[in-house]
Amino acid sequence: MKLFSWNVNGIRAVIKKGDFERFIAKYQPDVLCLQETKAKQGQAEIDLPEYEEYWNDADRAGYAGTAIFSKIKPLAVRFEFPDTINKKYDFKDQFGDASREGRVTTLEFECFYLVAQYTPNAKSSGLERLKFREEVWDPAFLEYCLELEKTKPVVFCGDLNVAHQEIDLANPKQNVGNAGFTAEERAGFQEYLDSGFIDSFRFLHPNQVGAYTWWTWRSGCRERNIGWRIDYFCVSRSLKGKIAGAEIYPEQTGSDHCPISLELNLGEAEH
């Protein structure tokens, strides 16, 4: 079973440029998780009859949003966090209500949950949303995944807006303390790992350098591969032996992020 994740930074623009159609034709994912769709279902011209489509758009038009396209019909679908977590955490801040921004979409399959998420950015100008990340979003998302894990294993993916280790960005020393590479954000990701989740790419490629998933549009950074790895597939420890592949596709254009994939060695009955 091959899963893909891609922050498309506007699905309509990627389709208009022809990159989305080329991507689907080339890779034929079993399941595709999208972040930053910036559109509601029906606003983008998509003709993929072999896929079930599940869209979770933000209340604010043209902002955030996630979607999952799946060739395998899920047992259940959930959008956003459950009420238990919404009541425990305050998702409202000066930038809006993150619980109403289409940031979490969950599909339940026979032997695992798949959670696509788009983590709020800490804000590069002054880290105004860093405290929210540290005290609300990251612990709430981890709590949600651990609750799901009580029933069956979890795979979560998406743009987590953090480079975990120095190997995960081209210029770590110059970026210490910047959004995406603060001690707080890195510690939040480490909590995922300490709680038993596995960063699938680093599991299979522990020492690979230059493996990035996002590049700023400025200064030809993508062409020079001055980037960050901030998109992930993480899996429950119980799925460790099922990880058959984890790759990054920097050659795929259309967005400032590139797609990533996770291949799980599952039997037909386990989908």
Residue 253 has pLDDT above 90, yes or no: yes
Is residue 270 over pLDDT 80? Answer: no
Distance CA 268, CA 184 (A): 40
pLDDT over 70 (residue 21): yes
Q: What amino acid occupies position 78?
A: R
Instruction: Report residue 164's pLDDT band, with 50, 70 and 90 as the boundaries.
Output: very high
For the beta carbon of residue 127, count every other beta carbon within 10 angstroms: 17
In the set 57, 138, 159, 199, the catalytic residue is 159
Catalytic residue among 118, 192, 212, 232: 118
The reply to whether 19 belongs to the active site is no
User: What predicted TM-score, i.e. pTM, was given to this entire model?
Assistant: 0.96
Q: Considering only 33-37, 228-232, 245-249, 267-271, which range has the smallest mean pLDDT?
A: 267-271
| pLDDT mean over 204-225 | 96
The candidate with the shortest Cα–Cα distance to 58, out of 100, 93, 94, 96, is 100
Please report the domains of the chain, with CATH numbers, ordered by start residue.
Answer: 2-270 (3.60.10.10)
Residue 271 has pLDDT above 60, yes or no: no
Tell whether the model's pLDDT for residue 249 goes beyond 60. Answer: yes
What pLDDT is recorded for position 268? 54
In the chain, count of helices (H) and strands (E)? 8, 14
pLDDT tens per residue, range 26-64: 999 999 999 999 999 999 889 899 999 999 999 999 999
Question: Residue 71 and residue 61: Cα distance in Å, rounded?
Answer: 28
Note whether 235 and 198 are within 8 A (CB): yes
Partnered with residue 158 across adjacent β-strands are 117, 232
Phi, then psi, of 199 in degrees rounded to 5: -75, 105
Query: How many Cβ atoms are within 10 Å of 96's Cβ, its own excluded?
Result: 16
**Closest Cα partner for 158 from 9, 26, 266, 58?**
9
113 catalytic residue (yes or no): no
Which two three-digit tokens encode residue 183? 């001690």
Are the C-beta atoms of residues 122 and 129 closer than 8 Å to each other?
A: yes
Angle of helix 138-149 relative to helix 183-194, nearest 10 degrees, comes to 10
**pLDDT value at position 266?**
85
Segment 196-219 shows an average pLDDT of 97
- Looking at this protein, which amino acid is placed at residue 7? N
